[in-house]
Each structure stands twice: as C-alpha cells, then as structure tokens.
Structure 1
C-alpha cells in the first residue's frame, strides 16, 4: 500500500486557453482550457475571488460573537462570524481581521491565533478563507464605523460555543465560517496543548501568501 503525504500539494495542469466570461465587483467568472492528466483537454469554469478572513471572538464566559445578516443568493438571514474580504492592497490577513472586528462589532482583541484555513468551494472557485481565534475581547475606542446598505441590518448575539456546536450538528446553522470555526475550536481543545498549540496569527498561508 502506497503511503502519501497527508497534505494538499501544489499542482498545475497546462492552461491552453483562458478567458474572462464575466466581471463582477467581488468575483470574476473565468473559463480555462486545460490539458488533463490523461492528455485529453477539458474546459473548466470557475470564479476568482480576493479571499476572506473571519473572526471567532470569545468572551470570558466562552461565548462567541455571531452576526445575523441577509444573504441574497440563498434568500436567508444567516448567523455568521465577523468577516470580510482581503481586498485592501498590502493588508496583512490579521490586520484585515482586526478591521472587520472593529467595523462590524466595535471590538478589539488582545490575543490572536490562526484557528483554521479552508477553501470554500474548490470545484467552482479559488476563494480561500482564514479564520482567526480572538481572545481578550473588549469594546473599542474612537469613532464607530457607520454601517450602510446590507450591513445596516446586522444583528449581534453572543452565543455559548457549546450551544453553537449543537446548532451546527443539528443542521440549523450552515454558514461555512461558523461550521469550520466551531468544529476546529472543539477539536483544538481536545488536542495536546489545546488552543495554546494553535498557529500564530502570522503563520504562512499558501492560499493567499503575504
């Protein structure tokens, strides 16, 4: 039995043609003609995306901050983590996470770690998300960020992590960042070293190098 390295590894099939089918504010829709491993050719359509960060912010009572926001493609009011795009040139992922936590929740945190990285939908998009775990959360100072458009309807709620895990496993909460973050936090706490063994906030991120 062949034993493989249990790690995602870079690979690049030859791209014979490439064109943008449509351009959007957040994503572009692209089609590539690629030569596959058996030598045949195939067309692959996918969206390109800046990437994103999300924050699992914990308070002293082991509650996590969640935000309810309308998401038009699925026609749902969804509970999510504070999150946002990596669309500011030169901005470090942690800085983006700090910015989103401030703008969406008017909070800052003393301790930051990488909780989990994931690719959202590898068959249709190159989008990647990094979720940070934030401890030592407290109210920010200075002028509040003015929410507009879809963000004007955001509702915040602190929820015990154990309760949110139950909601995820029951299928009542389906936002990818919450599902990944709550399951990763639960698993990390069961590992030797617990959350202290998590990667530092500046850990390399091959999906979005910085």
Structure 2
C-alpha cells in the first residue's frame, strides 16, 4: 500500500522567529481528506560532552511548554541560512558550556517529533574538551546552569523526570552503549 498523502492546500497560520505553523488539507491514500497541523523548523543540533572525569555535561534550564526545569545536553537551533550543523554544534557547546573540541564526532540525525513537526536534529559527541578563551554570550532570553553528572546520576535524573526530552534520553542510551563497549571511562 502507498501511504503517501498529497497536499491539496496549505494555509499559513503563524510565522515566527523559530518556527512556522501551517494548516494543510491532504488527500489520504483511501481518497478521503484530512487536516494536518505542521510545524516547520530550521533544525537543531545537540552535543554529548564528556569531561575528563568521565561525566556528561548537562544544562539546567526552564522549559516554558512543560512549565518546569529540565536537564538537557547542550543544544540549539540552526539559524536560517546556516548550512553546517557541525559549526552550529561547536557554537552551542561554546555558548552553553564555555568549552571547545576539535574532536567532535557525528552520532546520528533524527526527526524530533515527526507526527507534527519537521525539526531535524543532528547529534554529536566529544570526550576531548577544552575551555575556550572567548566564551560566547548566552542568548538574551536564555538562562541556564551547567551540571556534570556521572552515568548513575544522569539515570537518577531521568527516573526523577528531570531528564525528559528525546535528544537527551537518546544521548543517555548512546552513552550506555559506549560504556558497554568500553569506549568511555566508567564512573
């Protein structure tokens, strides 16, 4: 069976700084029509930084949609016109943690929530970190604290609901794989 839906009509609902929202009328494979609310996003990057003590670095920040603080790996959006997610990852690592690496390894790419958004996220890893000489400022509306957690502490934070976003949970699973392979230091 062909599952493709054909867009019949697109109605722009909202145009914003980080996303656009469209209401689409689509023709379904069975010939009927349906409506789709689609969020368009420029994409994002995330970095799994492991410090010299074998701890992963997280940022604690307020997340308005959930009305709570979270612990997440450093991440940020790809701005309109930016073409190289690797450079964006280095920028975000600098901005959020004050660190740099020349050993940034690509882990994977994925859609964060394909049921209603086209945000495409690039995940990177590094355990070769150094302090930057010139730290970038946080965005004017960005407030965060940096935390270094052991694998056990990070899993406890996940169990407590403090780590609750897909990219960071994926990072924890990748960290576990690296640990099982003996590719990273155990706590």
Q: Same fold (TM over 0.5)?
A: yes
Q: Secondary structure at the match of 1:48?
A: strand
Per the normalisation by structure 2, the TM-score is 0.87
Does the CA-based 8 Å contact 1:165-1:183 persist in structure 2?
no
1:110 and 1:166 mapped to 2: Cα distance? 31
> TM-score with structure 1 length normalisation?
0.78
Could you tell me whether the CA contact under 8 Å between 2:71 and 2:162 is conserved in 1?
no
Aligned mates of 1:123, 1:159 — CA distance in 2: 32
How far does residue 13 in structure 1 lie from its aligned partner after superposition?
2.3
Q: Tell me if structure 2 keeps the 8 A contact 1:116–1:184.
A: no
| Match in the other structure for 1:4 | none
1:148 to 1:188, Cα distance in 2 relative to 1, 3 A: closer
Is 1:177 the counterpart of 2:159? The answer is no
The alpha carbon displacement at 1:78 in A equals: 1.3
- Cα 1:95–1:171, aligned 2, differ >3 Å: closer, same or farther? same
CA pair 19-88 structure 1, distance change in 2 beyond 3 A: closer
> Which residue in the other structure is 1:144 paired with?
135
Q: Secondary structure at the match of 1:136?
A: coil
The root-mean-square deviation of aligned C-alpha atoms, in Å, is 2.1
Count how many residue pairs are aligned between Structure 1 and Structure 2. Answer: 182
Contact 1:115–1:181 (CA under 8 A) maintained in structure 2: no
The question of whether the paired residues in 2 share the 8 Å contact of 1:112 and 1:132 is answered with yes
What is the SS of the residue equivalent to 1:17?
A: strand
Partners of 2:98 and 2:52 lie apart in 1 by 17
Q: In structure 2, list runs of 5 or more residues that go unmatched.
A: none
